[in-house]
A = this chain, B = another copy of it.
Amino acid sequence: MIEKIPKPVARRLAIYYRLLKEYSKLGLSTISSSSMGERLNLKSSQIRKDLSYFGGFGKRGTGYKVMELMKSIERILGIDQAWHILIIGAGKIGMALVNYSGLSQDGFVVKAIVDADKDKIGTLIDTQLVVEDVRKMGQIIQEKKIDIGVLCVPPDVAQKTINEALKCGIKGIINFVPKRLEVPEDVMVEDVQISLSFKALSFRMVHNGK
């Protein structure tokens, strides 16, 4: 913990977590770094080093206990608690994220969705959530104790919209908008840029993977 954690580590921990979940479903009780590495196309030493930043979870000669390591990574990633999510923008992406199983599984609970479009406000999504007026966002953030806002609005209103959310104390943002957001230092933004992945693929296809 004293040492600085390389940035790519968090992402890999999430990958290890996913694999461990699979193993636990299969009923495996212990696992070695080398078998994980083989499965994930990573060097076993990298996995061990990544884990070692947070403590010694394994046993020499035996490996790691699947359940134990899962719980530890949950704690490290902060997903041993439930995060309250607000989806900002009921466009295609926003709506797709309501009830998206990949999120609820890991403790990210969508508590509300807001939009500015009158035609969308009041619509029932997935027989679960009603689209609310974006002007009530502040109230919703406080009442539903929202931790994370997921921004899925058109680019031209992105900054303006997120400014409102910031005023109400949001400290984490998942940004689906292809624009860099200006936020205070203590607010974390994680960008999800789907179109970048398409372009990266295109690049690799044209350049033959080099």
- How many residues belonging to A are interface residues under a CB distance threshold of 8 Å? 58
Complex interface bits, A169-210 against B, C-beta within 8 A gives 1, otherwise 0: 001111000101000001010111011111111111111011
For chain A residues 1-31, which have a beta carbon within 8 Å of chain B? Answer: 4-5, 10-11, 13-15, 17-18
For chain A residues 139-191, which have a beta carbon within 8 Å of chain B? Answer: 147-148, 171-174, 178, 180, 186, 188, 190-191
Contacting residues, chain B, for A196 (C-beta < 8 A): 11, 14-15
Copies of this polypeptide in the complex: 2
Question: Once bound together, how far apart are the Cα atoms of A174 and B148, in whole Å?
Answer: 26
Can you list 18 A-B contacts with CB-CB less than 8 angstroms, sorted by A residue number?
A10-B204, A11-B199, A41-B180, A77-B202, A77-B206, A78-B206, A79-B199, A92-B96, A92-B100, A103-B194, A103-B198, A108-B202, A147-B205, A171-B205, A173-B201, A188-B209, A190-B200, A190-B201
